[in-house]
Structure 1
Amino acid sequence: MTDSLPASAHRIWDPAPAASWEDAFLAGNGEYGIMVCGDPHAERIIVNHHRFVLPNGTHDARAPELAEQLPRIRKLVLAGRRTEAARLLTGGRELQWTQSYHPGFALTVDAADPVPARDYRRRTEFDTGQVVVEWAGGRRRSFVSRADAMIVTELDMGDCTVGVTGELPGRPADVRYTYAAYRRGDLVLLRVRGHYPQVGGAYGFEGLTLLRGDVTLDGDRVAVRGPALLTTVLDRVGDPRWRTGELADRLSAVDGDYDTLLARHLPRHEVPYRRVSLDLGVPAAQRELPVGELLARQRATPHTPLPALLERLFHAGRYLLLSASGELPPRLTGLWLGSWDAAWAGDFTTDANVNLQLAGANVGALPEVTAAHARLVAGQLDDWRRNARAVYGARGLLAPSRTDGEHGHLFHVHPDWPFTAWLAGADWLLFPLYEHHLVTGEPLGEVAGWLAEAADFFTDVLTVTDDTGTVVLVPSYSPETGPPDADGRPAPVAVNATMDVAAARHALRVAAEVTGAHRWDELRGRLPAYRIDERGALAEWAWPGPPADEEHRHVSHLYPVWPLGEIDPDDTPDLAAAAHRALTLRGDENLSAHGSLHRALGAARLRDGALVGVNLCKILGNDMFFRSLMSSHNPGLVTYNADAAHALPAVLIESLAQARPGVVRLLPAVPPGLERGTLRGVTLPGRITVQELSWQPGRLTARLVSALTRSVEVRTPYDTATLRLPAGVPVRVAHTSDGG
């Protein structure tokens, strides 16, 4: 029973089943995901697949052809007629959404003779990837295998009946399910097929479960007597030719009991998960608290982080991020969804959310996550090239603001969201791949060519200059806001959005760096400077005009602060002060999770631990975590959304350790309330690993390992010292408040 398990920050447990699908416990292998609700006698295991998206007619949508209209659009923007320009930037189209992510179905497990469940607990084990439900006399265990690419469930609960259902909340009436239980030789199989309405795109999706044990057919379900092993595989098909036979062959080819299959899975899950850990000195009694009690205690102190919860969220976030990444990087909901009404289509929202969720991948030693993002990008580059030609008549890459994972065409446009004017997208989305190179030293390979294409795009598009020869970025867009027009109406398309300026500067510099070519240097020297407004704040547009909407959830103009590091308190103190002023002036709009943690990441880079804490508490103190420790988009558990869950570990890492060329900073921005702790295994740009960083009031110790022999300056709140780091040799650092 779970009572024998030692207290651990690497699991959560709950004494009650999930009251709704949002509280279901989660597991995944980066392709398949499961949501285990945990009812001991009427279990529902909701099954997800990264590629399950509902056709809506946009599968073949393309970017608007605008290249010939660009001179007119630019003149309108520069003349202040930005509302007219925004309409032209849509190509006259109505707003279209990506294909919506949706759940697959639910496996049902119903006890033949339900009796009251004594000593009930359900738990998620972050280090093994298992979800376990147990009570006196019964147990179920599930995980999603990375080794065998299947869902594995062991039943040990007496007699029961196993079935499938597609009756999940919000199912469209024109999505039809069919079910069958049948024998194939000695195999007993349970099949479910989902049939899409034929509006373009895929034909449908399928799940097949093999049941091993004392099992017999019972209509379209399977009766189970005693222990049984269930293995499930999934598929999405583009035509009526179902691949059921291939799925059955896959299932029958994988043999072994639950523990054998788990042992094959663990090296691919436990090893990456265990690379990094955080110990905040939490007493064992607090580590043993059920997840609901941890959340309740945080709600009781909304303005002070509860270390016991923060430590657990750190590990839960890394677990969920890893589990949601493989076939693709995380969606807005990670890899999980229990209803058909996903907000914002449950897609990959690329202007903020994707990168924020990936913020802890490289520094958190999860290259598997960055590799998943690389797969998404690589599969869409031809579409980004087509976007650039269609919209600007340019070479290079123009990324969309949204994708459902099936293509990268830029068609989601509206006068209020003129993403055809968002020039920064490719640089922003390529940055995690470049950062992976900075952290690991691995060759960039084909990514170097992509970075050069991002620079070539700016070369072709930035053709307008002012009287001094300075480049004018027009049209330009700061997601998802803009200065009002002369009549006070929203008019997001503008000139010299700071994010676009930063992206151009970064793309042109990095392209030269990684290729050794210098054809971009002259253009980079003519880019506009960042603008500091009359309030002393970094302006959202490096162009005169009305002030920004200071209640907007996005802070895209902090791109040169995080993640680029171009603006830094040491190297550019005036700009850093202006960026800090911009950050403190910005309100919170609807307290969206991504907005608060984006602000926290900026505060960490500007070395303001108090401001990091304020923004963390907007998440922690506003009831934004479900009992699975998946997060919501807004306070009060409104809208299931992975942004906070996945980004929070990155905020803590950035608060505790940072690096830039020649400098390592330890404890640069510790939030209040985290007086002591130990961080292990983080990997920093420059190929430096923090094997261990321990701190307590007035003292810190650390072990640093560099992949290269070099000297670095180590800066702490107590001292600055230059250390020689021999390649591969741990070097100890110890600083105290009294200089000892």
Structure 2
Amino acid sequence: MDDEVGATTRLQLRLDAPAERWTDAFPVGNGRIGAMVHGGTAHELVQVNDDTCWSGAPLDGPPRPVGPLGDDDPPAVVERARARLAAGDPLGAEREVQRLQTGWSQAYQPLVDVELDHPAAAGDDGYRRVLDLGRGVVTTTWRAADGTPWRQDVRVSHPDRALLLERASLPVVASPGAAAPGGGGAASPGPVPAGAGDAPHDVRVRLASRHPWAVAPTSAHRGSADDPARGRARVVLRAAVDLPSDVLPDYSGEPDLVTYGGRAVHAGVAVAVLADGPGATVDVADGEVRVRGAGRVRVVLTTATDHDVAAGTLHGDRARVAAEARAALDAALADLDGLPARQEADHGALMGRVELDLRAPGEDPPTAGADGPGPVPDLPLDARLVRHAHGAPDPHLAVLAFQYGRHLTVSGSRPGTLPLNLQGIWNPHVQPPWNANYTININTEMNYWPTLVGDLAECHEPLLAWLDRLAAAGEATARTLHGARGWVAHHNSDAWCFTGPTGRGRDSVSWSWWPFGGVWLARHVVDHHDWTGDDDALRRHWSVVRGAALFVLDTLVELPDGSLGTAPATSPEHHYLLPDGRHAAAGVSTTSDLAMARDLLDHVRRLAPVVGERDEDLLAAVDGALDRLPTERVAPDGRLAEWSADVPDAEPAHRHQSHLYRVFPGTSIDPDAAPALAAAARRTLDARGPDSTGWSLAWRLALRARLRDPDGVTALVTAFLHPVDADPADLPPAAAPAAERGGVYRSLLCAHPPFQIDGNLGFTAGLAEVLVQAHRRGPDGVREVHLLPALPAAWPSGRVRGLRLRGGLRLVDLAWRDGRVVRAVLAAERRVVVDVREGAERRQVVVRPGEPTVAVG
């Protein structure tokens, strides 16, 4: 960044009180280890996850239907369901496919809590807790009751594979300043200074877990006189847990929701507690570390499990787990003083690729060479969110929400890790909401919408690697349940690549019977190539795309009019009303099924030459299916139809809008390519209403942007930033009940409610769509780069740098003033001709590799 201090200062989430609940805490991570920092003074809690910690174990074969199936095999049951639909009995069809339900996915698990008791530090004077998004560090500063200033930093280092908590007293100064709580030092760069203060203190550090200990916290090394000449002491603890062998979702209605004792992940931690200061000592009693007389305390934590992510297996060697955790700890301790700089350089290198500045009307626009922030209220987040809800301009909140999504991606998804689940890698519950699984009828996909446009392509790799395993597991499911080639995944999955329909005969078909999870997920392989141009990656993962296409081709059915369709078909999690008022989910050829099928087959045909696909029978079948698949239609009320028949919606304001798939994340419907369908899509969003779950608001933001609706964008930004945990008396009156409104918690984490990370990540992607779109190609094949296609009037001036675009393009710089572009610079890795567009104005530009090209200005 050109202005490191300014850029760092502007990317801070601030709260002026310790966390009272988990969603008040701030998240940090390195892809493997996630930590939620509560920021307590006398009592600190850092809740720790490891992304490999899941209940259950690798599957021992394809999912088994609960039945009863009678004398038929599962594909025959599907045929019976089709016959029921043809006879006008959708509820009978639902009862048939409920027989094919196969249980549930497993649940993401917490690992340990790190707790610090520090009575002498109690106090709230000048308290400030800051998550610096640019550095990936949570810094807490305050004054104790005796006037002593304190500072605590918590970070998780990717290079060192370790969490580091540092707490120290600071020099007492006459008034708050650069080194004191409440001043600029609240989040100043760099580690906590060793021996900065003159207030030695006593602290107790302990580990807790929501699981029974397999190895209770035990001293692995004593070192109270580790380096007496330098006034340092340390002790090392080790501990281990066996995770549950089965966790059922709380909505399952089953007994024994959490089971221990079977095959399960074995997880270990190694923890070092270091005390700095003349005469400082550390000791262990009853599994608790007791520190005395230290001016600075550092806690270093590493983790290991027997879960091999690449293979999806458990090796079961407990001694190896303990040794790996200890080896990682020893490596971090070898140069602990250098860990903060390594962590910040690593995190900052990824975060610094993209910069965003938004200005409200009347504010000075950003100028070339000056990257300082626009006016930022000197208020904590909770107060700013309430002011924003009352209409006070604060564009910087949108900037923070945009960069927060990138921080969560950098912190939660790195090469070699599992993909982000419903809660990213942060979860305190043994039985989390919806098992914190991979919900693949929107949420997992949304998690990865911002990675490519946000120039974090390496953070996309965990999803692609997992898809390879999911596709392999889904082949048996496709064959046994559907009698089809290729692979299938239904609406839920987990670390073990569960692919069956969820439930034990009672789950609603509206979510359980949706065999298009693989079809949607395969688009991520396509998107990765469209953004990066990486032909090798496309070839590596082509089996994901090809297998999903084979499944579609084998499960399409011929309808009476000669077209192809799907049956039984559902529109994710939605119902329609039967004439007698009952709810039904199963039907024939829902719009979302047809849209996803067409989208996938289009991409197979387009990319087959790139990968050297030589299966002419496959390509002929793709062409034949594309000729016979119906496209979207406009219903009599002007909306884009969701169902094949004109039936009333059971929930007119439903949170899913899967039938708008080809608007976004698809690329086929926009006001230029399909104006009538785009207008119908906009009417659909209008009919859905202004409020929904947090993640749905983020999806609608991207949809409104793709439909070039600035007023809709404004309304959705406001709705997304609604503070769900504010006192209702502090908020303006609302038409929707509080329980029906999503938004964000005071920490800016997205609220379904409850917490789901997909909304944070979807918001980032949606805001990028507001600023630039590059999905369209003209009749001549030239890619269009559309600048500011849906800019709200609330942001008349601003600047964005570093976004990555389809076609291997990069938006080096885009600045605007009074709603008009004043400068746009593009770059590319290979020569490309683009059609740069702003409003109705167009200009064709040739972008050459290694030569940033000024397209405007």
Which of 141, 151, 173 is equivalent to 2:163? 151
Does the CA contact (< 8 Å) of 2:549 and 2:600 recur in 1? yes
| 1:632 correspondence with 2:633 | no
Structure 2 distance, partners of 1:58, 1:724, is 52
Does the CA contact (< 8 Å) of 1:154 and 1:228 recur in 2? yes
Shift of 1:422: 2.2
Structure 2 distance, partners of 1:305, 1:399, is 44
Look up the match of 1:452: 546
| 1:537 correspondence with 2:639 | yes
Structure 2 distance, partners of 1:100, 1:651, is 29
Identity of aligned residues (%): 29
| 1:353 correspondence with 2:437 | no
Matched residue SS, 1:255: helix
Tell me which moved more, 179-188 or 273-282: 179-188
Tell me which moved more, 373-382 or 284-293: 284-293
The aligned amino acid for 1:300 is H
Structure 2 distance, partners of 1:150, 1:359, is 28
| 1:664 correspondence with 2:671 | no
Does the CA contact (< 8 Å) of 1:31 and 1:49 recur in 2? yes
Look up the match of 2:712: 611
Matched residue SS, 1:361: helix
The aligned amino acid for 2:853 is V
In 2 relative to 1, CA 673–284 (structure 1 residues): closer, same or farther, beyond 3 Å? closer
Shift of 1:630: 1.3
Structure 2 distance, partners of 1:30, 1:582, is 38
Shift of 1:669: 0.7
Matches within 5 A, 1:354-433: 354-413=444-503, 414=506, 416-419=508-511, 421-433=513-525
Matches within 5 A, 1:65-76: 66-76=74-84
Look up the match of 2:33: 32
| 1:734 correspondence with 2:735 | no
Matches within 5 A, 1:655-734: 655-659=770-774, 660-661=776-777, 662-700=783-821, 701-717=823-839, 719-734=841-856
Does the CA contact (< 8 Å) of 2:358 and 2:396 recur in 1? yes
Does the CA contact (< 8 Å) of 1:440 and 1:687 recur in 2? yes
Tell me which moved more, 481-490 or 39-48: 481-490
Which of 285, 289, 310 is equivalent to 1:222? 289
The aligned amino acid for 2:162 is M
Shift of 1:5: 7.7
| 1:98 correspondence with 2:105 | yes
Structure 1 distance, partners of 2:318, 2:334, is 30
Structure 2 distance, partners of 1:478, 1:433, is 23
In 2 relative to 1, CA 215–112 (structure 1 residues): closer, same or farther, beyond 3 Å? farther
Matched residue SS, 1:715: strand
Matches within 5 A, 1:79-478: 79-91=87-99, 93=101, 96-111=103-118, 113-114=120-121, 116=123, 118-135=125-142, 136-157=148-169, 158-166=200-208, 171=210, 175=212, 179-184=216-221, 188-195=235-242, 196=244, 197-198=259-260, 200-202=262-264, 204-213=266-275, 214-224=281-291, 225-226=293-294, 227-237=296-306, 241=318, 243-281=321-359, 286=376, 288-301=378-391, 306-326=394-414, 327-413=417-503, 414=506, 416-419=508-511, 421-443=513-535, 444-467=538-561, 469-478=562-571
Shift of 1:552: 1.0
Structure 2 distance, partners of 1:313, 1:111, is 33
Matched residue SS, 1:627: coil
Matched residue SS, 1:380: helix
Matched residue SS, 2:120: coil
Shift of 1:415: 5.5
Look up the match of 2:737: none
Tell me which moved more, 501-510 or 149-158: 149-158
The aligned amino acid for 1:506 is D
| 1:648 correspondence with 2:775 | no
Does the CA contact (< 8 Å) of 1:690 and 1:702 recur in 2? yes
Does the CA contact (< 8 Å) of 1:332 and 1:347 recur in 2? yes
Structure 1 distance, partners of 2:204, 2:837, is 59
Look up the match of 2:652: 550
Shift of 1:328: 2.1
| Deviations 1:664-698 (CA, angstroms, capped at 9, x unpaired) | 11010113411111011111111221111111215
Look up the match of 2:86: 78
Look up the match of 1:507: 600
Look up the match of 2:177: none
The aligned amino acid for 2:557 is T
Matched residue SS, 2:769: helix
In 2 relative to 1, CA 418–382 (structure 1 residues): closer, same or farther, beyond 3 Å? farther
In 2 relative to 1, CA 233–142 (structure 1 residues): closer, same or farther, beyond 3 Å? same
| Deviations 1:550-593 (CA, angstroms, capped at 9, x unpaired) | 221100000011111111211222222222222222236x7211
State the TM-score, normalizing by the size of structure 1.
0.91
Tell me which moved more, 477-486 or 231-240: 231-240
The aligned amino acid for 1:140 is Q
Structure 1 distance, partners of 2:849, 2:100, is 59
Structure 2 distance, partners of 1:287, 1:201, is 53
In 2 relative to 1, CA 114–449 (structure 1 residues): closer, same or farther, beyond 3 Å? closer
Look up the match of 2:192: none
- Contiguous gaps of at least 5 residues in structure 2: 66-72, 143-147, 170-199, 224-233, 245-258, 276-280, 307-313, 361-372, 610-615, 725-742, 778-782
Shift of 1:355: 1.6
Structure 2 distance, partners of 1:16, 1:60, is 50
Which of 562, 574, 579 is equivalent to 2:664? 562
- Contiguous gaps of at least 5 residues in structure 1: 736-740
The aligned amino acid for 1:276 is V
Shift of 1:131: 1.4
In 2 relative to 1, CA 545–300 (structure 1 residues): closer, same or farther, beyond 3 Å? closer
Look up the match of 2:193: none
Structure 1 distance, partners of 2:452, 2:491, is 23
Shift of 1:59: 8.5
In 2 relative to 1, CA 612–201 (structure 1 residues): closer, same or farther, beyond 3 Å? farther
The aligned amino acid for 2:44 is E
Tell me which moved more, 665-674 or 56-65: 56-65
Structure 2 distance, partners of 1:259, 1:5, is 22
State the TM-score, normalizing by the size of structure 2.
0.79
- CA RMSD between the two structures: 2.7
In 2 relative to 1, CA 547–18 (structure 1 residues): closer, same or farther, beyond 3 Å? closer
Does the CA contact (< 8 Å) of 1:202 and 1:236 recur in 2? no
Look up the match of 1:738: none
| Deviations 1:57-100 (CA, angstroms, capped at 9, x unpaired) | 9987715362122221111122221111112112265x843222
Structure 2 distance, partners of 1:549, 1:48, is 37
Shift of 1:658: 0.2
| 1:593 correspondence with 2:662 | no
Matched residue SS, 1:280: strand
Look up the match of 1:487: 580
Does the CA contact (< 8 Å) of 2:161 and 2:328 recur in 1? no
Shift of 1:175: 4.5
Does the CA contact (< 8 Å) of 1:59 and 1:406 recur in 2? no
Structure 2 distance, partners of 1:119, 1:585, is 47
Structure 2 distance, partners of 1:461, 1:384, is 15
Structure 1 distance, partners of 2:683, 2:14, is 42
The aligned amino acid for 2:384 is L
Shift of 1:417: 2.7
Does the CA contact (< 8 Å) of 2:773 and 2:786 recur in 1? yes
